[in-house]
Amino acid sequence: MTEVVSTVASVRAAADAARVAGGTVGLVPTMGFLHAGHRSLMHAARSECDLVVVSVFVNPMQFGPNEDLDRYPRDLDGDLGACAAEGVDLVFAPGVREVYPEYPPATVVHVEGLTERLCGASRPGHFDGVTTVVAKLFAIIGPCHAYFGEKDAQQLAVVRRMALDLNLPVEVVGCPIVREPDGLALSSRNAYLTATERAVAPGIARSLRAASAAVDGGERDAAVVIGLVRAALDAIHGLDIDYVECVDADTIRPIERLGGEVLLAVAVRLGQTRLIDNVRFRLAP
């Protein structure tokens, strides 16, 4: 049975007790409104860990002043049902004051070099909010495996670097993107799309598939690959491109020739909704 707690002391005690008993702890950090992508993270945690904790917390620090904090979709009852179905042991659903005794906090975690490009350029301060709350969750839960989706590829790279740099006793686990049957990457923000926008949104994934086909065919010029994606996205009515970039998947630095671990990442706006997607290539250096 899934238990719900709202205090740091309660979730910390449960994680400590699991480790004292010789068990491992799996953490799935979320902002709620859970979908099949989140459930895939829970499933991975359940298959590998003795105690599975899902945090449900809409973190105000990672929203800019003109972003969608107030209207971000919330459904705690639905979230609890999804967690129960995946065999989650504990849901940590705190209020803002429980996570941030004083808000805004005086201490902010910043990862230099990985946060200035891609979503960091479009959403100033966003990743400081992400790393600060994730560092707090890691401190609250203690040694654990933490599961993140690869759709938020820059976030995954940033969190991994933070854990490495700060010697945090956490193994950060990346899990594959989960998509709708028509290819659209699952996101809580998909709920914002109108019927017309939802009908054209799969074109984002199709643009990445076209680029993947070119790479599979031997294309290694990043500018050419980016151009293929941009051309496909430009053909979608009502879609505005935020960015299309080829970067090193670990450092988020731009590259000119594809080789090694490559991330081809896109961000677009459909109406009022900002969507991201990506594809990874593992190529010979």
Burial class (CB in 10 A: 0-12, 13-18, 19+), 88: buried
Residue 31 has a pLDDT of: 98
Q: Of the residues 35, 38, 43, 237, which is catalytic? A: 38
Q: Running DSSP on this structure, what letter comes out for residue 280?
A: E
Considering its fold, how many domains does the chain have in total?
2
- How far is residue 248's CA from residue 18's CA, in Å, rounded to a whole number? 37
Point out the domain boundary residue: 124, 154, 175.
175
Domain hosting 60: range is 3-175
Q: Please give the structure tokens belonging to residue 208.
A: 């990445």
Whether 261 is covered by a domain: the verdict is yes
Residue 212 has a pLDDT of: 98
CATH of the domain at 213: 3.30.1300.10
Q: Are residues 148 and 8 in the same domain?
A: yes
Helix then strand then coil, in percent of the chain rounded to 5, is 40, 25, 35
- How far is residue 63's CA from residue 115's CA, in Å, rounded to a whole number? 15
Q: Are residues 249 and 206 in the same domain?
A: yes
Residue 114 has a pLDDT of: 98
Whether 183 is covered by a domain: the verdict is no
User: Where is 107: in which H helix or E strand?
Assistant: none
Residue that has been written with the tokens 């709202």 in this structure: 6
Residue that has been written with the tokens 């909010």 in this structure: 129
Q: Please give the structure tokens belonging to residue 284.
A: 């010979």
Whether 201 is covered by a domain: the verdict is yes
Q: Running DSSP on this structure, what letter comes out for residue 34?
A: -
Q: What angle do CA 39, 44, 50 make, to 5 degrees?
A: 110
- Rg of the Cα trace of the chain? 19
* Catalytic residue status for 38: yes
Would you write out the chain's pLDDT as a tens digit for each of its 285 residues? 899 999 999 999 999 999 999 999 999 999 999 999 999 999 999 999 999 999 999 999 999 998 999 999 999 999 999 999 999 999 999 999 999 999 999 999 999 999 999 999 999 999 999 999 999 999 999 999 999 999 999 999 999 999 999 999 999 999 999 999 999 999 999 999 999 999 999 999 999 999 999 999 999 999 999 999 999 999 999 999 999 999 999 999 999 999 999 999 999 999 999 999 999 999 998
Q: Are residues 107 and 242 in the same domain?
A: no
Find all residues with CB under 8 Å of 48, minimum gap 6, and list them. 24, 26, 145
Q: Are residues 145 and 105 in the same domain?
A: yes
Whether 235 is covered by a domain: the verdict is yes
Q: What are the backbone angles phi and psi of residue 130, rounded to the nearest 5°?
A: -65, -50
CATH of the domain at 43: 3.40.50.620
Whether 180 is covered by a domain: the verdict is no
Find all residues with CB under 8 Å of 87, minimum gap 6, and list them. 42, 46, 52
Residue 266 has a pLDDT of: 98
Helix (H, G, I), strand (E, B) or coil at 58: coil
- How far is residue 242's CA from residue 188's CA, in Å, rounded to a whole number? 19
- How far is residue 141's CA from residue 26's CA, in Å, rounded to a whole number? 9
pTM exceeds cut of 0.85: yes
Q: Closest by alpha carbon to 141, among 47, 5, 39, 46?
A: 5
Residue 285 has a pLDDT of: 86
Q: What are the backbone angles phi and psi of residue 19, rounded to the nearest 5°?
A: -70, -40
